[in-house]
Chains A and B, each alone.
Chain A
Amino acid sequence: MTVPAVEIRQLKKRYRKVEALRGLDLTVDQGSVCGFLGPNGAGKTTTMKILMGLIRSSSGWAAVLGDDVRDASLQARARVGYLPQDPVFPSSQTVRSVVASVARLYPGHPRGSELRRRVDDLIDRVGMTDKARRRVRGLSGGERQRLGVAQALVGDPDLVILDEPSAGLDPMGRRNMLALIEEISSQATVFYSTHILDDVERISDTVVMISGGRAVAHGSLDEILTVSESDYAVRIRGETSGIHDRLRAEPWVGNIDIRRYAEIEDWRIRLVGDSAADRLVPLLVSDGACDVIEFHLSDRRLEDAYLELVGADDGD
Chain B
Amino acid sequence: MMTEAAALDRITRAGPFRGFPGLLGVELRVWFPWRVLFLIVAGLSVFALIYVPWRGFEVNQLGPLMIWFLTFWIMMLLVSTVALTEGAVLGEIERGTASWLVAMPIARPAVILAKFAAAAMGLAVTVFVPGAAAYPVLADASERGITDFSVQEVFELAEIPIGQWGAYTRLPSWGTYVAMLLSLWALLVFVAALMMFLGSVVRSRTAVFGLGLGAAGIVFASAFIPGLASSATPAGIARAVIDIAQGKEAALMAPVMGTLLASGAALVLAMWSFNRRELT
Contact = CB atoms under 8 A, between A and B. Distances in A.
Contact of B103 (A54, A79, A93): A54
A105 interface: yes
A93 B105 CA distance: 21
A101 B26 contact: yes
Interface string B95-121: 111011011111100000000000000
A26 to B, nearest CB: 20
Interface of A: 15, 49, 52-56, 74-75, 77-79, 82, 84, 86-90, 93, 101-102, 104-110, 155
B97 A74 contact: no
B178 to A, nearest CB: 34
B10 A108 contact: yes
A53 B18 contact: no
A102 B280 contact: no
26 contacts: A49-B99, A53-B102, A54-B99, A54-B102, A54-B279, A74-B11, A74-B12, A75-B11, A75-B12, A75-B105, A78-B8, A84-B100, A87-B100, A88-B95, A88-B96, A89-B97, A90-B26, A104-B21, A105-B22, A105-B23, A105-B106, A107-B11, A108-B7, A108-B10, A109-B22, A110-B1
Nearest to A158: B4
Interface of B: 1-2, 4, 6-8, 10-12, 14, 18-19, 21-23, 25-26, 29, 95-97, 99-100, 102-107, 278-280
Contacts, number: 87
B7 to A, nearest CB: 4
B280 A105 contact: no
Given A75-B12, A105-B19, 15 more contacts: A49-B280, A54-B103, A54-B280, A55-B279, A56-B278, A74-B18, A75-B8, A77-B105, A78-B105, A87-B96, A104-B25, A105-B22, A107-B8, A107-B14, A107-B18
A93 B279 CA distance: 23
A85 to B, nearest CB: 9
B279 A101 contact: no
A138 to B, nearest CB: 17
Nearest to B94: A88
A106 B18 CA distance: 9
Top 9 closest A-B pairs, CB basis?
A108-B2, A88-B96, A78-B105, A104-B22, A107-B7, A105-B22, A55-B278, A108-B7, A54-B279
Contacts of A93: 29
A155 B105 contact: yes
Given A15-B280, A55-B280, A108-B2, A101 B103 contact: no
A15 B280 CA distance: 10
Tell me whether chain A's interface is mostly helix, strand or loop, or mixed: loop
Nearest to A97: B29
Nearest to A155: B105
Given A49-B280, A53-B103, A101-B26, A108 B1 contact: yes
Most chain A CB atoms below 10 A, which of B6, B100, B102: B100
B278 A54 contact: yes
Nearest to B102: A54
A311 to B, nearest CB: 28
Given A55-B278, A55-B280, A108 B6 contact: yes
A79 B1 CA distance: 15
Contacts of A110: 1
Contacts of A88: 95-97, 99-100
B195 to A, nearest CB: 19
A77 B7 contact: no
Contacts of A107: 2, 7-8, 10-11, 14, 18, 105
A78 B10 CA distance: 11
A105 B97 contact: no
B105 A90 contact: no
A86 B96 CA distance: 9
A77 B107 CA distance: 10
A77 B104 contact: yes
B19 A84 contact: no
A106 B6 contact: no
A110 B7 CA distance: 12
A13 to B, nearest CB: 10
A78 B96 contact: no
Contacts of B1: 108, 110
